[in-house]
């Protein structure tokens, strides 16, 4: 079956709808979400409502958690747009959708893969898999040959056999070796962070074919102007992130 892996939507309903449409067109029979449905962006209620209505298996992200409880932003590593996004989520989220967020697990295991938001070795500490050391720690806790994670917003693959991080070519299936293990990040749907010297503001996701055991990374155009128009005037940082893609 083809499974769409999405992550870090960050209240960007325009990007989410574009990705879901593209995944459906490509024959995805299931969607798995790696968390951070809210935060940063202008449409937290619409994004949660969409995933809840679709009954999308979703894990808890740090922004989702922050939207449910008071956070000392003076000590947290946050940006002005992150604080604005959390405040907006707290104001907008309905009781029903807030209850849905509260029930999200930190880890979901599927027959061929496991998913979490940040790391497999510290599920609720919101650490990053961003170097060989952190990747090794998560590999040691991974019970499946494939683990999908988000949080960094950077699309790519950690391969256990040589502990290399690499980014496969877009729109071309990358075959997974059945004797190897992988940590795979689909990138961010709503807030992609690409190199400043090569920015790309398209929404990111991937399709995992658990029969062929391959992953294919995609970047999808969406209505960026509509998203920016929906962002509050105070969130200039977020507007720049959306428009520039880094």
pLDDT at 89 over 60: yes
Q: What is d(CA 8, CA 37) in angstroms, rounded to the nearest whole number?
A: 6
Q: Pull the structure tokens for residue 10.
A: 């960050």
pLDDT bin (cut points 50, 70, 90) of residue 151 is: very high
Q: Whole-angstrom distance between the N-terminal and C-terminal Cα of the chain? A: 32
Q: Give yes or no for a contact between 46 and 14, defined as CB atoms under 8 angstroms apart.
A: no
Q: What is d(CA 6, CA 4) in angstroms, rounded to the nearest whole number?
A: 6
pLDDT bin (cut points 50, 70, 90) of residue 239 is: confident
pLDDT at 78 over 90: no
Mean pLDDT computed over every residue of the chain: 93
Tell me the whole-structure pTM to 2 decimals: 0.95
pLDDT bin (cut points 50, 70, 90) of residue 156 is: very high
pLDDT at 197: 80
CA 225 to chain CA centroid, Å, is: 21
Q: What are the structural domains, with CATH classification, of the chain?
A: 2-244 (3.60.21.10)
Q: Pull the structure tokens for residue 205.
A: 């996701």
pLDDT bin (cut points 50, 70, 90) of residue 9 is: very high
Lowest mean pLDDT among 9-13, 109-113, 224-228: 224-228
Q: What is d(CA 48, CA 64) in angstroms, rounded to the nearest whole number?
A: 10
């Amino acid at each position: 079956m083809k499974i769409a892996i999405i992550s870090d939507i960050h209240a960007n309903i325009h990007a989410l709808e574009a990705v879901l449409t593209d995944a459906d067109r490509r024959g995805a029979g299931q969607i798995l979400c790696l968390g951070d449905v809210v935060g940063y962006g202008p449409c937290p209620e619409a994004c949660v409502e969409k995933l809840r209505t679709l009954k999308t298996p979703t894990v808890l992200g740090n922004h989702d958690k922050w939207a449910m409880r008071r956070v000392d932003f003076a000590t947290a590593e946050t940006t002005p747009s992150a604080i604005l996004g959390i405040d907006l989520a707290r104001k907008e989220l309905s009781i029903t959708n807030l209850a849905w967020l509260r029930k999200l697990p930190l880890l979901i295991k599927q027959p061929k893969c496991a998913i979490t938001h940040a790391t497999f070795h510290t599920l609720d500490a919101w650490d990053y898999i961003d170097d060989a050391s952190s990747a090794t720690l998560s590999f040691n806790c991974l019970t499946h040959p494939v683990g999908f994670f988000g949080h960094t917003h950077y699309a790519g693959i950690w391969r256990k056999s040589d502990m290399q991080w690499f980014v496969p070519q877009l729109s071309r299936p990358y075959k997974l070796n059945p004797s190897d293990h992988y940590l795979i990040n689909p990138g961010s749907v709503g807030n992609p962070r690409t190199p400043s010297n090569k920015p790309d503001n398209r929404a990111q996701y991937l399709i995992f074919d658990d029969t062929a055991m391959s992953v294919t990374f995609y970047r999808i155009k969406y209505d960026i102007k509509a998203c920016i128009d929906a962002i509050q005037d105070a969130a200039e940082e977020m507007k720049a992130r959306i428009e520039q893609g880094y």
